[in-house]
Amino acid sequence: MDMPSNLSNSAPASAALYDRARRVMPGGSTRVTIWWPPHPPYAASGQGCRITDADGRVLLDFANNFFSLIHGHAHPEIVAAVTAQAARGLAFGLPTELDVALAEEICARAPALQRVRFCNSGTEAVMFAVKAARGATGRSMVAKMEGGYHGAYDPMEVSFDSGPSNWGERIPAAVPYTRGTPASVLDETLVLPFNDWPITEALIEAHAGRLAAVVLDPLPSRVGLVPGTPEYLQGIQALCRRHGIMLILDEVVCFRLHPGGAQTLFGLSPDYTALGKIIGGGQPVGAVAGTAEAMAVFDSTLGHRAIVPHGGTFSANPITMAAGLTSLRLLTPEAHARLDLLGERLRTTLARGFARDGIAAQVTGAGSLFRVHPHTRPIAGYRDALATAAEASWLKEAFGHLLAHGVLTTPNISGALSTPMTVAEIDEAADAIIAALRETA
Ligand SMILES: Cc1ncc(COP(=O)(O)O)c(C=O)c1O
């Protein structure tokens, strides 16, 4: 993708930083998701819903560090909590009251969130949930959705970016994401087609005796950011119950959909819930939560070593706990309701604008999440959502245009709202997104 010249030419400070980065990082980047040609703008500071980059340009931020900053940047109460804790100590080889308090805050939010173990990323949260499910069942196979993203754990990367050349017929093939993925990982990962109940049911039934868990994100962003139908979600939960398969709900992103998480919104009662992003208030975080019975595999007080030992030098570090606790306490039901209304306004304005201007695009999402698709196919799952090469190149160009006009989303033009936003920022972003797609069509 060629970035519009006004961005690359007017960003000498970011260009200089990227030059330095190329000498010390492969490709000049340390995160695949935040690199694009010729280079991303480098952030200097953030305040509320705006970021100032190294060249002094101000960006309206809908990326919110990949949906983790629900209160935007430098929220005064979060900054105060983190600063106060930093002065008391960054981390200890001991638990603190803060981890108890954040666990209590999470457990108060839904009946199936009865026990919590903290870690440092969503990747780890899903990984430990899978290990817990294996420990609880004594089985090793896990099921996940085609196209579903759950972080960088080997089995969770299977078929993450499969395409028409390798995804198989209606029954999805298990496609490795990185070269050298062990064949055993592919053999132990069952790939399901999201929202295709007959195939999903048949596949789970056929592998029930081997399956430790089904990993399910009810509003999976890479699959299309469309929700699972009630029949699909409830059907999977019922099948899991019937066969003693653990249901792992990945709420790393969709916990922001409701004060009680997506499980409350969709009426689900998972054995394990993988959490991350917003529960850390902007700091690195992950957590496995679940029923007391399912979480007992982590318990080392039962007279034997824990079935699934879990530690981590920085797990439950007090800086993250302080930020997360403050952030969740700020996230009142009223704050949720306001974000949902703003999200609805953004999606509706975009849909109307695309229709009005004859733009062959659509928007999906729910609550404070949205994603723009460079096509108008009805989307039930990954295969409908996946952009063709031509569609993907239009989206990339539109992203470049949007950024050049001061709005930051993820590179596939998805985003998450933050509480500092008002109707003015929503309408500003909607206008900019519509213009970006129109001008690059
Ligand atoms: C649904 C989902 N699960 C898990 C993860 C992994 O989280 P992390 O990047 O904190 O490892 C992500 C990250 O975007 C995600 O979107």
State how beta strands 43-47 and 286-290 pair. Answer: unpaired
394 lines ligand 1 (CB under 6 A): no
Q: Measured from the CB, is residue 128 less than 6 Å from ligand 1? A: no
Q: Whose CA is nearest to atom 4 of ligand 1?
A: 150
Distance 359 CA to ligand 1 centre (A): 31
Q: Residue 185: helix, strand or coil by DSSP?
A: helix
pLDDT attached to residue 405: 97
* CB 40 less than 6 A from any atom of ligand 1: no
Contacts of 363 (CB under 8 A, 6+ apart): 347, 350, 351, 354, 370, 371, 372, 373
What integer pLDDT is reported at residue 5 of this predicted model?
Answer: 38
149 lines ligand 1 (CB under 6 A): yes
| Residue 66 in contact with ligand 1 by CB distance below 6 A | yes
What are the tokens at 157?
Answer: 């990367």
How many other CB atoms sit within 10 Å of the CB of residue 386? 23
CB within 8 Å of 56: residues ≥ 6 apart: 44
Q: Is 63 in the pocket of ligand 1 (CB under 6 A)?
A: no
**Pairwise CA distance, residues 439 & 179, whole Å:** 38
Residue 258 is predicted with a pLDDT of 98
Helix (H, G, I), strand (E, B) or coil at 111: coil
* Of 277, 320, 382, best ligand 1 pocket probe by most atoms within 8 Å of the beta carbon: 277
- Residue whose structure tokens are 């009630």: 230
Contact 304, 297 (CB under 8 A): no
Query: Taking a C-beta distance cutoff of 8 angstroms, is the pair 371, 224 a contact?
Result: yes
Residue ranges in the chain modelled with pLDDT below 70: 1-9
Cα 26 to middle of ligand 1, angstroms:
22
| Nearest one of 8, 272, 244, 234 to 127, comparing CA atoms | 272
Residue with CA at minimum distance from ligand 1 atom 9: 122
Asked if 433 and 400 count as a contact pair (C-beta separation under 8 A), the reply is no
Q: Is the CB of 430 under 6 A from ligand 1?
A: no
C-beta 151 within 6 A of ligand 1: yes
Q: What is the DSSP letter of 405?
A: T
Point out the ligand 1 atom lying closest to the alpha carbon of residue 121. 10
Atom 13, ligand 1: residue with shortest CA distance: 151
Domains and CATH numbers, the chain: 5-70+332-440 (3.90.1150.10), 76-330 (3.40.640.10)
- Which residues have CB under 8 Å from 116's CB, separation 6+? 102, 103, 106, 107, 287, 288, 289, 295
Which of 32, 64, 150 has the most ligand 1 atoms within 8 A of CB, as the residue to mutate?
Answer: 150
User: To test the ligand 1 pocket, which listed residue (118, 252, 320) has its Cβ within 8 A of the most ligand atoms?
Assistant: 252
**Ligand 1: distance of its center to the CA of 16 in Å?**
30
Q: Provide the pairing of β-strand 286-290 with 246-250.
A: unpaired
Is the CB of residue 113 less than 8 Å from the CB of residue 271? no
Peptide bond into 38 cis (omega under 30): yes
Question: Of all protein residues, whose CA lies closest to atom 16 belonging to ligand 1?
Answer: 253
Angle at 246 between CA 315 and CA 186, to 5 degrees: 85
Cβ 40 vs Cβ 15: under 8 Å: no
Q: What is the pLDDT of residue 1?
A: 39
Q: Where are the beta strands (DSSP E) in 158-253?
A: 189-192, 211-216, 246-250
**What is the CA(66)–ligand 1 centre distance, in A?**
9
Task: For residue 213, give the nearest of 139, 115, 120, 284 by alpha carbon.
Answer: 139
Q: E-strand spans in 23-70?
A: 43-47, 50-53, 58-61
Ligand 1 pocket residue status of 276, Cβ below 6 Å: yes
Would you state the pLDDT for residue 377? 98
Mutate to test the pocket of ligand 1, among 149, 219, 285, 314 (most ligand atoms within 8 A of CB): 149
Angle, in degrees to the nearest 10, between helices 423-440 and 333-356: 30
The per-residue DSSP string of 112-170 comes to: T--EEEEESSHHHHHHHHHHHHHHHHS--EEEEETT----S-HHHHTTSS--TTTS-SS
Name the strand (E) or helix (H) holding 391: helix 389-404
According to the model, what pLDDT value does residue 10 have? 75
CA distance 214 to 236: 8
Centroid of ligand 1 to alpha carbon of 275 (angstroms): 9
CB of 217 sitting under 6 A from ligand 1? yes
Decide whether any atom of ligand 1 lies within 6 Å of the 121 Cβ: yes
Cα–Cα distance between 125 and 215 in angstroms, integer? 12
Kindly report the protein residue whose alpha carbon is nearest to atom 2 of ligand 1.
Answer: 150
